[in-house]
Chain A
Amino acid sequence: MALTKLSLEKFTVFEKLDIEFSKGINVLIGENGTGKTHIMKVLYSACQAAQAKGTAIDFSTKMIKVFKPDDSGLHRLVKRENGAGTAKVKVCSDHHTLSLEFHSRRKENISVKGRDAWQEEFAGLTSTFIPAKEILSNSHNLIQAIDKGNVDFDDTYKDIISAASVDITKGPEGGLKKKYLKSLQKITNGTVSIKNEEFYLKPGNQSMLEFQLIAEGIRKIALLWQLIKNGTLENGSVLFWDEPEANINPKHIPALVDILLNLQSDGVQIFIATHDYILAKYLEIKRTGGSSVLFHSLYKIENEDRVAHESNQNFRDLSNNVITESFNVLLDEIFNNDMED
């Protein structure tokens, strides 16, 4: 089971979007404000809605918790333009569609369709959203504070703390899992421990280091280690990762890409939003015949208030590629000014 398609109409920056996904790795690129994170948050909300079977959390509620519009008003996510409008969201798998409709002016007018079949199909699904900003170093009492309304974080932060807090004894350590963990440990130089709701890194026999004393890039790798170790990222799960490259030393990107490719081979569907050439290019060159990687470029249409998209199996063949365009400008400047590069 995997997410196969998303249709959006009059939703945030999107006038109309129909995008098909790979069951392996999906790489979303595009300049700021083209809706990469919005796409991932919609998909994540749909996954979480399936996980929440039997609870009060449905698709629309999760959308509100993840997007955090003012006054918890879903209607505020309707694309802003003159006059009233209705936003339509459809998330599809091979077999079912989960739909959501809401109106810009009629706040209570929210319709969710296909929930039961969706929850049936995705029962037991685990989905994880890793936000761009690392949060585990501030985890102590954060969930309680969020629940009490003392601090204002969207649900992706709360959920990732919960996911990372899962008892690490859960889940068998098969050969591949061991391999991933070993490879990540080489980068972090230690393993993750949890004590009194706080995260620590334990390097070998040395005493535990508070997460906030460790470089942010290493913390992100340590988080991935923890999610693999505790069984969150296993066959049939979905991983959303917003800007994995943020604060990570580029020399660690190849190892990170190896792990992402192995996870998708093991049946984890992955969505990544990135601005990084190195990450995108490594995903292109390191994939093997069995890997499924699809690149999606989101771009603004000049003089029109809308975002369009194209998908391609090759990063190099995207005709609207903001990452390579930016590099090209820099390299041409170096060339024309005869500067050292």
Chain B
Amino acid sequence: MVGDIFVEENGFYRLDCTSAVWATDGLHNIYHSSNIALSDVDFISESEENLYLIEYKNANIPQAANNPTPITADKNDKLHNKIAQKFYGSIIYIKMLNKTKPVNYIFIAEYPHADEITRKLLRNKIKRKLPFKLQERAEVISPLITNFDVVSIAEWNIKYSAFPLLPKTLSNT
């Protein structure tokens, strides 16, 4: 399978992965049809050099189907844990496909009054639940994750411009 264009679950945005070596938005269905109780990310995209696990949450769009726990008021770490679990669930599939490129986990988050600072605070909190510390151990041969980031849609489109995330109405296809 090569790249494709995916529509996020609310139907407002499209992630254009046509330039990807390989991409999918089907991990949820794959796990579901296999009766596997693992969490999954919304999209996976592979470039020549990297793999991107992409989780997308947008609390700004009207009637969003997946309005998350208010992102900045996540007192019991419910959202942080959920975002981390999605990584652990999804990385299993990547390992089963024997894909060995560096794994970047990106959380695209839009929520009211969001700014760079609150996104970075969120990023720093979630990072502690990901295996960065674990993979520093001397016996670890194959690290699971290279990079984690929390970005807005605008930041995603600048930093990861190979796979633009655009409103459906602005997309070419």
Binding site for B on A (CB under 8 A): 277, 281, 284-285, 315-316, 324, 327-328, 331-332, 334-335, 338, 340-341
Give the shortest distance, in Å, between B167 (CB) and chain A (any CB).
Answer: 19
A327 touching B127 by the CB < 8 A rule?
A: no
B168 within 8 A of A: no
Complex interface: chain A residues within 8 A of B113 (CB): 281, 284-285, 316
Cross-chain contact of B124 among A284, A285, A324, A341 (Cβ < 8 A) = A341
Closest partner residue, chain B, to A315 (CB atom): B115
B124 touching A327 by the CB < 8 A rule?
A: no
What CA separation (Å) do A285 and B115 show in the bound complex?
Answer: 11
A327 touching B123 by the CB < 8 A rule?
A: no
If A338-B132, A341-B125 are given as contacts, then 4 extra A-B residue pairs at C-beta distance below 8 Å, sorted by A number, are A285-B112, A324-B115, A327-B120, A338-B127
Give the shortest distance, in Å, between A286 (CB) and chain B (any CB).
Answer: 10
Interface residues on B, range: 10 to 19
A335 touching B115 by the CB < 8 A rule?
A: no
Closest partner residue, chain B, to A325 (CB atom): B116
What CA separation (Å) do A135 and B121 show in the bound complex?
Answer: 37
B133 within 8 A of A: yes
**A327 and B117 contact, Cβ closer than 8 Å, known pairs A335-B124, A341-B124:** yes
**6 tightest CB-CB pairs across the interface, nearest first?**
A316-B115, A331-B120, A285-B113, A327-B117, A341-B124, A335-B124
What CA separation (Å) do A30 and B123 show in the bound complex?
Answer: 26
Write the B117-154 contact mask toward A (1 if CB under 8 angstroms, else 0).
10011011101100011000000000000000000000
**A324 and B116 contact, Cβ closer than 8 Å, known pairs A335-B127, A338-B133:** yes
Complex interface: chain B residues within 8 A of A284 (CB): 113
What CA separation (Å) do A339 and B116 show in the bound complex?
Answer: 19
Most B-side CB within 10 Å, residue of A277, A315, A338, A340: A338
What CA separation (Å) do A331 and B114 show in the bound complex?
Answer: 16
Give the shortest distance, in Å, between A322 (CB) and chain B (any CB).
Answer: 13
Q: Could you show 21 A-B contacts with beta carbons less than 8 Å apart? A: A277-B117, A281-B115, A281-B117, A284-B113, A285-B112, A316-B113, A316-B115, A316-B116, A324-B116, A327-B117, A328-B116, A328-B117, A328-B120, A331-B117, A331-B121, A331-B124, A332-B120, A334-B124, A335-B120, A335-B124, A341-B124
